Chain A
């Protein structure tokens, strides 16, 4: 049954760009591409977040990824295929440099959140400070390539190409998430998340496991950043690296439910749909109103749905099923 639903959903996703939507097609595709990219980034975050490694600095990896690919292309004409690899390598390097001492010296909980927050701010400020290269807080536009070079430049006029690319990356993210979820590392990391000392005492190499999942999460986030830069062809420090972005990623994931496969996708889809809806509703009339409602929804969700929307629904359905099974008529 679940399998059938999954295939049906995949089918809908596959044919979505060809469904008749009138004049709405470009806009709908644009929203969908955003949802897939940010869901992928959310999955990358939840890989860490679910094991009590709350990073408020994922904007650092996102910005690093997006800017590396964009600047390599703009200044040296390095194809984003290579730039993307460099970007991921850079994010892995940053994750190692920050992660290793963090885990070695047991920086945990709120302290870990604050250290990562500082890392995110450092990356954002460096981007602004190096304004000769990066355009500072005005951001930078990825140079357009000719149509004959669209595959090397990873720039496509047709949104459908990006749509399928983002779907494939998103599916890849789900696959990685599932692999981690079913691995032995998951049990080890869960034990570490519960109690580091106890985990270490039964022979789990705490630093190695934490570092591994952090590097994986950082690499995927950077990849999401590259995809973002290629799709929007414009990068800006505040939309990629600030504390606001990091909080948004975390919120989407927690809203959906961090502990389930589709949680971050559901959460991201809902938050993007909400902000798009509010944006269209208010337009330029009430500046700030859309964000105000967003913040309010955030607070209410955290208070009343601590396990996330998808997580709470799933829990409720599972409980009902269990009850039915426990009491056969």
Chain B
């Protein structure tokens, strides 16, 4: 029998991981909602941002927060680049082509990273304390990541609610055709959305590099999980994304301790499949 304290610790870690996962899912969700395209390579962009933060911090001695900001900047630039170079030309193509184009980007980024930096695992060594709460050990880095992720989500919420371009983004994701009828320029909205989505990827990368080591296959490890949380949360539903992220990361974290890491993922993915049948509109919606 496993000591309950380990399970409690895993559960707590699950919640903390859920914050970052929700952030990632929201970035992807934003793009999916506005452009109706799933960026298969989203997590590989995160991986690139992690490498940037890693090199700036360990190679050039930048403070971590500055490296993180640089990662956010790179993420935004990558988002714009991906949109202008790859998504724009295929905006009206068949969905299969859209999936494949970003899938090609996945192969490209993954392999190019392998070519440049080999498959070594690289870690930013932070001397952050480990906190002990009632016999459980919590990493301070994870706590910071969780808090920053929640703050970023609140920031995104305010941006979408209270700025003009944010309102436009919400409008497009509700009805793309109407947007054009109103005489607005969708291209501008698309670019801003991609930049914001990319910046979220960058921020997530900065938060992940202080907890995990980065390697070229990081995206492949986290990607499928993120797509599922994104869809499970429901389009444009922030609370849903958070709930979905916490549920999935709980299953993976606790299941990982009680069985094996793979079985944790298997249960989470099966839950995703079942939920797609039961509640296709997201975890917090009812079936019509």
- A277 contacts the other chain (Cβ, under 8 Å)? no
Q: Hey, what's the 0/1 contact readout for A224-261 against B, CB within 8 Å counting as 1?
A: 00000000000000000011100100110010001000
What 1/0 flags go to B21-54 for Cβ under 8 Å of A? 0000000000010001010100000000000000
Which of B69-77, B185-193, B238-246, B269-277 makes up part of the contact surface?
A: B269-277
The residues in B between 99 and 152 inclusive whose CB is less than 8 angstroms from any CB of A are 99-101, 103-116, 118
Q: Is the interface of A mostly helix, strand, loop or mixed?
A: helix
Q: Is the C-beta of B158 less than 8 angstroms from some C-beta in chain A?
A: no
Which residue of B36, B111, B265 contacts A121 across the interface (Cβ within 8 Å)? B265
Cβ of A291 under 8 Å from chain B: yes
> How large, as a class, is the contact surface on chain B?
35 or more
A125 is an interface residue with CB less than 8 A from chain B: yes
8 Å CB interface, B210-265 against A: 216, 220, 223-224, 227-228, 231, 260, 262-263, 265
* Min CB gap B186→A, angstroms: 19
Tell me if A216 is interfacial: C-beta within 8 Å of chain B.
Answer: no
The answer to whether B269 touches A121 (Cβ under 8 A) is yes
- Cβ of B90 under 8 Å from chain A: yes
| B224 to A, closest residue via Cβ | A121
B224 touches A117 (CB 8 A): yes
Establish whether residues A294 and B107, one from each chain, have CB atoms under 8 Å apart when the complex forms.
Answer: yes
**A295 vs B103: C-alpha distance when bound (angstroms):** 8
A residues less than 8 Å from B270 (CB atoms): 118, 122
With beta carbons under 8 angstroms apart, the residue of B86, B223, B265 that contacts A299 is B86
Cα A286 to Cα B111 with chains together (Å): 10
Q: Which of A81-89, A102-110, A171-179 contacts B (4 or more CB under 8 A)?
A: A102-110
What is the CA–CA distance of A299 and B266 in the complex, to the nearest angstrom?
31
Q: Which of A120-150 contact B (CB under 8 A)?
A: 121-122, 125-126, 128-129
Inter-chain contact A119/B104, CB cutoff 8 Å: no
Q: Any chain A CB within 8 A of the CB of B96?
A: yes
* Chain B: CB-nearest residue to A120: B224
Q: Is the interface of B mostly helix, strand, loop or mixed?
A: helix
Contact of B107 among A114, A122, A298 (CB under 8 A): A298
Q: Which residues of B contact A126 (CB under 8 A)?
A: 262, 266
Known A98-B273, A105-B280, A303-B86: A54·B112 in contact at CB below 8 Å: no
A253-312: which have CB < 8 Å to B?
A: 254, 258, 286-292, 294-299, 302-303, 306
A45-57 CB contact bits vs B (8 Å, 1 = yes)?
0000100101010
Tell me if B103 and A247 are in contact (CB < 8 A): yes
Picked from B100, B106, B110, B111, the residue with its CB within 8 Å of the CB of A254 is B100
Confirm or deny: B155 has a beta carbon within 8 angstroms of a beta carbon on chain A. no
Q: Are B228 and A56 interface neighbours, CB within 8 A? A: no
Question: In the bound complex, do residue A115 and residue B276 qualify as a contact, i.e. CB atoms below 8 Å apart?
Answer: yes
Task: List, in ascending order, chain B residues with CB within 8 A of A118's CB.
Answer: 224, 228, 269-270, 272-273
Nearest CB in chain B: distance from A237 CB, A: 10
Q: Is the CB of B115 within 8 A of A114?
A: no
Max count, chain A CB within 10 A of own CB: residue among B32, B228, B269: B269
A129 near B220 with CB under 8 A, answer: no
Q: How far is the CA of A296 from the CA of B38 in the complex (A)?
A: 19
Q: Please, which residues of chain A bring their CB within 8 A of the CB of B263?
A: 125, 129
- Is A295 touching B108 in the complex (CB atoms < 8 A)? yes
Q: Are A254 and B104 in contact (CB under 8 A)?
A: no
Expressed in whole angstroms, the Cα–Cα distance for A306 and B94 within the complex equals 9
Tell me, rounded to whole Å, the shortest Cβ–Cβ distance linking B113 to chain A.
Answer: 7
Contact status B110-A291, CB under 8 Å: yes
Does B97 count as interface, using CB distance less than 8 angstroms?
Answer: yes
CA distance A98 to B95 in the complex (A): 21
Interface size on A, residues (CB 8 A): 50
Asked if B93 CB lies within 8 Å of chain A CBs, one says: yes
**Interfacial chain B residues near A287, Cβ < 8 Å:** 114-115, 118
Across the interface, do A295 and B223 meet the contact criterion of CB distance under 8 Å?
no
Most A CB contacts (10 A, CB to CB) among B95, B103, B116 go to B103
Determine if B223 and A243 form an interchain contact, defined as CB atoms under 8 angstroms apart: yes
Which of A128, A243, A244, A299 touches B105 (beta carbons < 8 Å)? A299
Q: Which B residues are in CB contact (< 8 Å) with A254?
A: 96-97, 100
Residues in A neighbouring B61, C-beta threshold 8 A: none
Contact residues in B for A298 (Cβ distance below 8 Å): 100-101, 103-104, 107-108
A294 vs B106: C-alpha distance when bound (angstroms): 11
Residue from A121, A243, A291, A306 in contact with B90 in the complex, judged by beta carbons closer than 8 Å: A306
Q: Are B107 and A295 in contact (CB under 8 A)?
A: yes
Are A54 and B99 interface neighbours, CB within 8 A?
Answer: yes
Q: Which residue of B lies closest to A255 (CB)?
A: B100
Q: Is the CB of A247 within 8 A of B89?
A: no
Seed contacts A114-B228, A299-B101; 12 additional CB < 8 Å A-B pairs: A115-B273, A121-B265, A129-B262, A243-B220, A247-B107, A287-B114, A288-B114, A288-B115, A292-B115, A299-B104, A302-B97, A302-B104
Between A and B, 13 residue pairs with Cβ closer than 8 Å are A54-B99, A102-B276, A107-B277, A110-B32, A128-B262, A242-B220, A250-B96, A254-B100, A291-B107, A292-B115, A295-B105, A299-B101, A299-B108
- A-B interface, 9 closest residue pairs, ranked by CB to CB distance from nearest: A295-B108, A298-B104, A291-B111, A295-B107, A288-B114, A288-B115, A129-B262, A299-B104, A292-B111
B-side residues, CB < 8 A to A, are 32, 36, 38, 40, 86, 89-90, 93-97, 99-101, 103-116, 118, 216, 220, 223-224, 227-228, 231, 260, 262-263, 265-266, 269-270, 272-273, 276-277, 280
